[in-house]
Structure 1
Amino acid sequence: MTEAHPDTPAARAFWQELGLPGLFDVHVHFLPENIQRAVYAVFDAAGPKIGREWPIRYRLPHAERVEVLRGFGVRRFSTLPYAHKPGVATYLNDWSRDFAAGVPEVLRSATFFPEPDAPAYVAEQVAGGVEVFKIHVQVGEFHLDDPLLDPVWGLLEDAGTPIVVHAGSGPVGNEFTGPDPLRRVLERYPRLCVVVAHMGAPECEEFLVLAETYERVHLDTTMVFTDFFPAYPGELLPRLRDLQPKVLLGSDFPTIPYPYSHQLEGLARTGLGDDWLRDVCWLNGARLFGTTA
C-alpha cells in the first residue's frame, strides 16, 4: 500500500467536514513526459512567461501523482493538455486519450490550436467522447478569434463540450491575453460552454461580467484566493456569490508551490459559506460533467 502524502489529511478534512463525497477538480494537468519536462523547465527558469520564482510542489511520476490525488479525495479531475504551437495538438490528444483509458477518475481532455486541420481533429475528439478541452493563449500566443478557429467554435457551441480557456493576463500578460478576444468570440458564439481559468486574473471583473452575461460561461478558482496570487477584489465577492452555480474548483496540480489544501482554505476564507463551497468543490462540476456521487 502506498504511503499517504503528508498533505493528505488537510485536504480530506476539508471536504469531509462539508459532507461531500470528495472533490471535483476541473484544472489538473497530466502531460507526456517530454512535454511535462519542458513545462517544468519553464517554471524552474522563472523566465519572462512566469515572472517569479515558482517551486513545484508535486513534481512526481504520473502514477504517483494519480495516487496523491486519490488520497486527497479528488474523485474527478481533468488532464488539460494545451498546444503551444501548430502540429502538436493531435499528439497531445492521443496521449491524453490513452492516459484516460487507464485512470477512471479522469475527465477525458483534449486541446486544439488555430491551424487548418483543427476542425477535423476537434470533431473527431468530440465524436470520440472528449469531455473537456483546454487552450492557453499566453503560452500558445494566438488570438481566440483567429479565423482558423471559427469552425471550431461553431462545432463546440453545438456540441456543448466545455473549454477551459486561459485568457487572463496572469502570470504575465502579452498581446493575446485579456478579456476582449473572448468577448468577441462569445458575441458570435453565445452558447459556448467556457470555463475561464484562474477566474481570468488579474482581469477578474471583466471576466466576471462575461460569466454574468453568458449562460454557459463559468469560472474556475485555480490559484485564486491563495497567498501566491494577488488578492481577489473584495467588492466582487457578493457578485461571486450570485454566480454560485457557475464557479468550479480548479487547482493547477501538480504545478503549484503550496499544499493542495491551501487552495481549499482560501476558498473558505472568502466567507461565502458552506453551501457555496459545496457547489464549487463538488456539485457544480458534477452537474456540468454529469457525474453522480
Structure 2
Amino acid sequence: MDAHVHARSPGRDQLGFGSLLAAEFCGGMTQAVVSWQDNDFVEIAAEAVPWLTPLVWVRPGGPDPDDVRQRISDGAAGLKLHPAYDNFPADTAGLDPYLKVAEEAGVPVTVHSAPGPADPDLIARLAERFPTVPIVLYHTYLGPPEGRRRAARHAQRLPNLHLETSWCDSATVERLIDDVGPGRVLFGSDAATDGPQHFVRQPPNLEAGETYNASLLKLAKRLKPAVFRQFAETNARALFRLKA
C-alpha cells in the first residue's frame, strides 16, 4: 500500500500516469492514494484502475468546500495540502474550512512537510487546532535530519499526527518506528517523481544510498513481520479506510 503517489498527465514522463503504473508494479504495490493539483485529472486516473484512490488537493481559497465534500462523497479518501508548492503557511486559518470538512467526513489530511511554510512546527499547530483529524506528514520533513527529529517529537505528543516515509532510507524508517511506535508510520514513495524507474532508480534515490525496493527488502528482513505489515500496508489502509 503506497500512501503517497502522484499523476499529473498521461504518458511515461515524470509524474505521468504511465510512469506511475510502471513504478508501482515494479515496487509490488497493490493499492495507493493519488493526488495532484488538478483534481479532475486525478479522479479520471483513479477511475482507470481499481487500486488507485484519489485525495482532494486543496489550498486556502479553493476549491469550494462544497466541492470537496462532494468529491469525498464520491470516493476520495482524504485531503492533500502542499504549503510549499502553493505558497501558504501550513497553520494558516485559511485552511480551517477544509479541516472542518475533513473532520465532518472522518477523513485524514496529508501535508507536504519541508523547510519554510511546510515546516513540521507549523503543521503541528494545525494538528493542535483539529485534534480529531488525522494529519499525515508527507516525507516526515523533506530536508535536513533535524527536521525529521522535530516531526517525530511532535508525533510523540500529538496522537493525530502520522509520519509518511517517502525519501527516507530504511535506517530512518526504523528510527521513526522506534520513536513513535509502529501504528503511525506509513510507507509512501512519492512516485512517479523519478519516472517509471522510481523504485529502482540508479544512482539510488533514497539518501543517495538505497533504492525503494532495496529499502523495503531490508525492512522486511529486519522488522518483525507484524510491524512490517503495519508499515507497508495496514496502517495506511486503516487510516484511509480502504478495503483490500
Q: What TM-score, normalized by structure 2, do the two folds share?
A: 0.80
Tell whether the 8 Å contact from 1:111 to 1:134 is kept in structure 2 after alignment.
yes
Distance between the aligned counterparts of 1:157 and 1:135, measured in 2?
Answer: 15
Distance between the aligned counterparts of 1:178 and 1:232, measured in 2?
Answer: 19
Residue 245 of structure 1 pairs with residue 183 of structure 2: yes
- Deviation, structure 1 residue 212: 2.3
Corresponding residue for 1:12?
none
- Deviation, structure 1 residue 33: 4.8
Residue 221 of structure 1 pairs with residue 154 of structure 2: no
Tell me the SS of whatever aligns to 1:26: strand
Superposition pairs of residues 263-274 of structure 1, within 5 angstroms = 263-265=215-217, 267-268=219-220, 271-274=222-225
Residue 262 of structure 1 pairs with residue 214 of structure 2: yes
Residues 272 and 95 of structure 1, relative CA distance in 2, 3 Å threshold? same
Residue identity opposite 2:17 in structure 1? H
The worse-fitting range, judged by mean Cα deviation, of 113-122 and 245-254 is 113-122
Residue 141 of structure 1 pairs with residue 118 of structure 2: no
Tell whether the 8 Å contact from 1:198 to 1:220 is kept in structure 2 after alignment.
yes
Distance between the aligned counterparts of 1:167 and 1:215, measured in 2?
Answer: 18
Superposition pairs of residues 170-249 of structure 1, within 5 angstroms = 174=116, 176-201=117-142, 202=145, 203-225=147-169, 232=172, 238-240=178-180, 243-249=181-187
- Deviation, structure 1 residue 214: 2.7
Residue 78 of structure 1 pairs with residue 30 of structure 2: no
Identical-pair percentage: 26
Superposition pairs of residues 59-78 of structure 1, within 5 angstroms = 62-63=17-18, 65-78=20-33
Distance between the aligned counterparts of 2:77 and 2:86, measured in 1?
Answer: 21
Tell whether the 8 Å contact from 1:225 to 1:266 is kept in structure 2 after alignment.
no
- Deviation, structure 1 residue 233: 9.6
Tell me the SS of whatever aligns to 2:49: coil
Distance between the aligned counterparts of 2:188 and 2:174, measured in 1?
Answer: 20
Distance between the aligned counterparts of 1:235 and 1:105, measured in 2?
Answer: 30
- Deviation, structure 1 residue 247: 0.9
Superposition pairs of residues 23-38 of structure 1, within 5 angstroms = 24-33=1-10
- Deviation, structure 1 residue 68: 4.5
Tell whether the 8 Å contact from 1:223 to 1:263 is kept in structure 2 after alignment.
no
Distance between the aligned counterparts of 1:32 and 1:218, measured in 2?
Answer: 29
- Deviation, structure 1 residue 98: 1.3
Query: What CA deviation, in whole Å up to 9, does each residue of 1:185-244 have, x standing for no partner?
Result: 122111111111112244112211232233332111111116xxxx7498766324xx20
Query: What CA deviation, in whole Å up to 9, does each residue of 1:141-163 have, x standing for no partner?
Result: 11122232211112212222122
- Deviation, structure 1 residue 67: 4.5
- Deviation, structure 1 residue 120: 2.9
- Deviation, structure 1 residue 106: 0.2
Structure 1 unaligned blocks of 5 or more: 1-23, 41-58, 84-91
Superposition pairs of residues 10-21 of structure 1, within 5 angstroms = none
Distance between the aligned counterparts of 1:185 and 1:71, measured in 2?
Answer: 36
Corresponding residue for 1:108?
54
The worse-fitting range, judged by mean Cα deviation, of 283-292 and 107-116 is 283-292
- Deviation, structure 1 residue 268: 5.0
Tell whether the 8 Å contact from 2:4 to 2:188 is kept in structure 1 after alignment.
yes
